[in-house]
Structure 1
């Protein structure tokens, strides 16, 4: 074995080889991060470079690019006549334009929707990029003119751009406005308004000087003026709300609006108080094209807010004339769409605790102030020398065609001296010029009246259908003012009026009407306080005239006062009342055309009666001035016979001329209580009656031609 010492001297051993290094592992995450950082640094650098370029150049070179993209997006021509700035920073975007104009659609009456001498703004960058509502930190507007218009069909407006995107006003934090005007036109609503804003300067988050504005205009041809202010617009970012005040004078009315707005340019969700006062509530609603009856002086107050297309008036309180009013009302003004004319609609739920009868007069066409000062005589008008009481105020057909409505009105009590009326319930439904008053119900003198009235104004000739029903009502309460004693009167009255007429006034409608009127008297007693006219027996009348009272009430078995109406002429069909002593009948009738009455009542005794003239008792004259005739030619003939007998015989013999033989045929009550016409009426033996009117217009004319002597 060789030894190391045996190696030759001078020999150097080669070095031992180094071990091979292990291969390096690849890290994808680090590689991706490095790439991302590189890209981010590049983007940031580019952004910074772009910002630096924009900051240095103020973005002036983007002027034509802005015009091109803004015009393309809005579908309008957008131009900047002077200097232009547009650049960003992390917190606010700077925008400045001198001579900025935004054109109107071709149909508009003005060339530009917006134009200004200068607009200088700072817009919150994050809200500009991500927010639905843009926030303007600062705006300086000089000599701005805004034109807001609707087209004639109310389907397009000047502030909706591109594919139906409406202009949404931004939230404005600070502002300085000088020489700015706003013009508004709505042909469908017939609204014109021109408003000028006074100079406004603002510092910090609170405007120290109120935004004040004033202007004038017209609505449906009625001029108005307005003025107002936004007294303390707060920093909206902190959730502040803007105090708002507005005063409008027009249509002989005064409107005051005050409260808060969510923002200086935001009405949606506003919390406002509205006060209105004037001489006639109709004048106020005329501004909106809503037809309401005339009223006396009024004063109302309500809470108002706007939600979508709805203008809601809640907590209404106030009065018209001597009547109180409360409730809620909503006016909806939707935009017109295909197949829909965008009709305005009024929905209301109103109440009154006490209504003065004078204030109800205008609802059927009477002038309220005249009624208040002159009483019922104010309802009477002279026409060709004759008194007329049926109202001739025309139905406002054009106004009824402009809107729809659904109204409920409740009245607890009515102040008047004729017949006690309470608990009125009125349901009003207006649908494309078809007006329905259903229900129209109320309590009257212990009874109840239900009504359904339809007025169709869709055709040139306005058509009205009346259906009025009265449940059994105590005569003692109903006729108390006319001398009927409530104590001792057990009789009741029930009635129905069903007619159909044409005409745009109540007078014309009734003058052309056809239908039936039936008043039924079931079995009961009837007692007067003063003179006895209930049985139309002249002898008893004279007797009671001196006694001034009845010893016992009249027993009514059944009765029917019926009229058939043809072309405005109501003829008795029949008038037949059966009492314990007499059978009363009447012929003739009345006319809605000239308001003349011509009725002849007579009573035939069932048993022999002295002091019974048995001549017709006439009711003549006009609705406004009726006259009762007691002395008739027939009675004078009998008086003449009495005088003759007294001369040739003895004074006692003259009484024979006034003796009634008592041959009246009692009436069958079945047809009477059913309200049947004359052809169905029978005696108690079943024989057809021949002593009653047959519902013919000729009967009325015949009675008119007979001479009556006024008593």
Structure 2
């Protein structure tokens, strides 16, 4: 029995549950994860408690802490005289301060940057953390803001912290909705001479919305010029519904009225806005002066364009309009950059009226419009002056840099056939470059590079102007002379430097060379015969109806050397198939006096030839021609004497041209060489050019002895 096997004992314990089985199979949670979860839970609970405490107490107990921290961080005195609230509602920050003041930095001379009876706001917390300041709500009552730069335009009142730190550009926070009453702002910039005051009309909130428009007005002075502005945000609640704000502003300054209309992405944000600008007034230069920029004077204008802001760029596109009787299209941009504003423009004009060109070279368009050609002439000391004397606005050139491209298809002019103007203008720290300044004239092309250096005192200008071969007939036709029978061309170059802040003063102190080259071609016979006063041949051809028969021009050079504003012929030499035309004298940019004489020596025997100079005298504004020179009178006297002593036929001998003119070697002529380099066809130096000069001093008269010597020297070569 001992060996009998006992029956198994039954297990009456309950089977293990499914959860227990799963727990027994799950690995243990890491201790660090448990701690982390508990810490995060604690932070959430703590934040909730902070939120709850702030929400219940409205954060009023933080008033002293706020004043201390704000004062230390801004290095200004920040005070709250009345109620203070700072809490999350529910996630955006609710900030309210009554009797809030923020002082100005010491250099601003005291006062407050901000003061408000009531400052109430809802600040978007998340966007604030990521660097974009946005207020969903701003309520202001009795608020005044003082925005100011120092005299050096280096520090400003809205850059907080170190009061000597460089001022940052004003960055307006985005304000989606506002209620404003009895508030305004003041802006001053002594260096730009700008003072502005803007006042906001009272706006009341109703049911979390404001009235249908936020209206404002203001006035001030910009560079001594008063201006006014009125405007409104016409739909301040549209943003809350996903729409855009409608803006309308009208600005009046000097003789100009400008309106800005369109939509804003946010009520206080110009970035990416869709705006339209309309400007009209009497003179565009007056308006640009308000902004410290300089442009030539214009007649009455009306311009319209789209307008927006991209970063530091203020962009005007789709420009269309007129100034005077000319049209203008294109676009331009203004970049807010240091140390100067940068202006870029790409402009086009279909038709430019000659009257509207006048301001670009210093003439007054209103006077020209009223007086015609005489509007270009002024009287100085009893003598007429033609060269413009309008000074360059050097002070304005310090304020901005520029790069402008302007194309003009056609110039409307009665006499001068100009078209296809291409202007490239660059301004870099008072260095003004007009390159290229090209245009088509009578099927020729004028190529110009002009450099005006206002960094120097006085202003120094470098002129380089070239005329490509141009048909003389077409060119003369533009001045009212029939072109038939003339196939010759002319090319030219003006290369000079001058000092002075106007066209007249610059040329009056200029040095360099002017040369017009005439290659082989034909001219009217009449032009040649009149120049040499060959009365016999002229009359003969007139009766034979051969007045317009072409005369061959072999080559010609009309050259001047300019020293201290006085241009002396160097040389004037035109070689034709029948004669050699010579010139002496010159002109003065100082007095604008002209003292030139031309004579043509025949290569063939000719009877009744005066062989006497044709004089061109007077002034640029009023030139004169003198045919009866002392030499011609002397020949007439000699002829009369011979006729009395001998016979009337003998009197004709005084007017005989034996035809001994020396033909010119065309190589030096076509190369524009000076008188010293000129040669005859036999290779010998010419002794009949390069000895004339001008004699008039600054008053245009000169001393009697000097004029005697010059006259003897001038006429003695003939």
TM-score (norm 1): 0.90
Compute the displacement of 1:575 (Å).
0.6
Check the 8 A contact 1:380/1:389 in 2, yes or no. yes
Distance 1:546 1:160 in 2: 90
Which residue of 2 is the match for residue 311 of structure 1?
314
1:380 matched to 2:369? The reply is no
1:81 matched to 2:78? The reply is no
Compute the displacement of 1:650 (Å).
4.7
Which residue of 2 is the match for residue 410 of structure 1?
407
Which residue of 2 is the match for residue 446 of structure 1?
443
**Within-5 A mapping of 1:65-80:** 65-80=65-80
1:109-138 CA-partner distances (Å, limit 9, x unpaired): 45322110012233445545x554354343
Compute the displacement of 1:48 (Å).
5.0
Which residue of 2 is the match for residue 607 of structure 1?
604
Which residue of 1 is the match for residue 254 of structure 2?
251
Question: Structure 1 residues 695 and 450 mapped into 2: Cα distance closer, same or farther (>3 Å)?
Answer: farther
Check the 8 A contact 1:531/1:548 in 2, yes or no. no
**Aligned match of 2:394 in 373, 393, 397?**
397
Which residue of 1 is the match for residue 699 of structure 2?
none
Which residue of 1 is the match for residue 700 of structure 2?
none
1:159 matched to 2:162? The reply is no
**Within-5 A mapping of 1:403-552:** 403-482=400-479, 484-527=481-524, 533-541=530-538, 550-552=547-549
Unaligned runs of 5+ in 1: 5-14, 337-341
Secondary structure of the structure 1 residue equivalent to 2:679 = coil
Check the 8 A contact 2:533/2:609 in 1, yes or no. no
Which residue of 1 is the match for residue 562 of structure 2?
565
Distance 1:561 1:686 in 2: 20
Instruction: State which drifts further: 508-517 or 90-99.
Output: 90-99
Which residue of 2 is the match for residue 12 of structure 1?
none
1:417-439 CA-partner distances (Å, limit 9, x unpaired): 22211111111111111111111
Secondary structure of the structure 2 residue equivalent to 1:240 = coil
1:284 matched to 2:284? The reply is no
Distance 2:207 2:253 in 1: 38
Distance 1:512 1:32 in 2: 89
Compute the displacement of 1:684 (Å).
0.9
Which residue of 1 is the match for residue 703 of structure 2?
none
Distance 2:3 2:671 in 1: 157
Question: Structure 1 residues 541 and 149 mapped into 2: Cα distance closer, same or farther (>3 Å)?
Answer: farther
Distance 2:376 2:363 in 1: 6
Compute the displacement of 1:548 (Å).
8.3
**Aligned match of 2:356 in 354, 359, 380?**
359
Distance 1:174 1:548 in 2: 90
1:189 matched to 2:183? The reply is no
1:689 matched to 2:692? The reply is no
Number of equivalences:
691
Question: Structure 1 residues 136 and 674 mapped into 2: Cα distance closer, same or farther (>3 Å)?
Answer: closer
Which residue of 2 is the match for residue 62 of structure 1?
62
Unaligned runs of 5+ in 2: 697-705
Instruction: State which drifts further: 277-286 or 80-89.
Output: 80-89
Instruction: State which drifts further: 465-474 or 70-79.
Output: 70-79
Distance 2:193 2:547 in 1: 67
Distance 1:530 1:94 in 2: 92
Question: Structure 1 residues 596 and 524 mapped into 2: Cα distance closer, same or farther (>3 Å)?
Answer: same
Distance 1:175 1:448 in 2: 61
**Aligned match of 2:640 in 616, 639, 643?**
643
Distance 1:322 1:660 in 2: 55
Distance 1:220 1:637 in 2: 66
1:213 matched to 2:216? The reply is yes
Check the 8 A contact 1:174/1:202 in 2, yes or no. no
Distance 1:68 1:584 in 2: 94
Instruction: State which drifts further: 685-694 or 210-219.
Output: 685-694
1:552-585 CA-partner distances (Å, limit 9, x unpaired): 1121111111111111111111111111111111
Compute the displacement of 1:483 (Å).
5.9
1:620-653 CA-partner distances (Å, limit 9, x unpaired): 1111111111112221222233334444555444
Check the 8 A contact 1:206/1:235 in 2, yes or no. no
Which residue of 2 is the match for residue 583 of structure 1?
580
Check the 8 A contact 2:442/2:470 in 1, yes or no. yes
Compute the displacement of 1:359 (Å).
0.9
Secondary structure of the structure 2 residue equivalent to 1:358 = helix
Check the 8 A contact 2:294/2:393 in 1, yes or no. yes
Question: Structure 1 residues 576 and 124 mapped into 2: Cα distance closer, same or farther (>3 Å)?
Answer: closer
Distance 1:502 1:461 in 2: 6
Compute the displacement of 1:532 (Å).
5.2
Compute the displacement of 1:382 (Å).
0.7
Which residue of 1 is the match for residue 702 of structure 2?
none
Check the 8 A contact 2:120/2:139 in 1, yes or no. yes
**Aligned match of 1:598 in 555, 576, 595?**
595
Check the 8 A contact 1:174/1:203 in 2, yes or no. no
Compute the displacement of 1:55 (Å).
3.8
Instruction: State which drifts further: 543-552 or 84-93.
Output: 543-552
**Aligned match of 1:233 in 231, 236, 242?**
236
Check the 8 A contact 2:263/2:275 in 1, yes or no. yes
TM-score (norm 2): 0.89
Distance 1:278 1:469 in 2: 37
Distance 2:429 2:201 in 1: 43
Question: Structure 1 residues 551 and 281 mapped into 2: Cα distance closer, same or farther (>3 Å)?
Answer: closer
Which residue of 1 is the match for residue 551 of structure 2?
554
Compute the displacement of 1:288 (Å).
1.2
Check the 8 A contact 2:595/2:694 in 1, yes or no. no
Distance 2:326 2:532 in 1: 41
1:149 matched to 2:140? The reply is no
Secondary structure of the structure 2 residue equivalent to 1:161 = coil
Compute the displacement of 1:599 (Å).
1.1
Distance 1:388 1:703 in 2: 27
RMSD value, Cα:
3.2
Distance 2:170 2:676 in 1: 74
1:349 matched to 2:352? The reply is no
Check the 8 A contact 1:561/1:574 in 2, yes or no. yes
Distance 1:499 1:517 in 2: 8
**Within-5 A mapping of 1:648-667:** 648-667=645-664
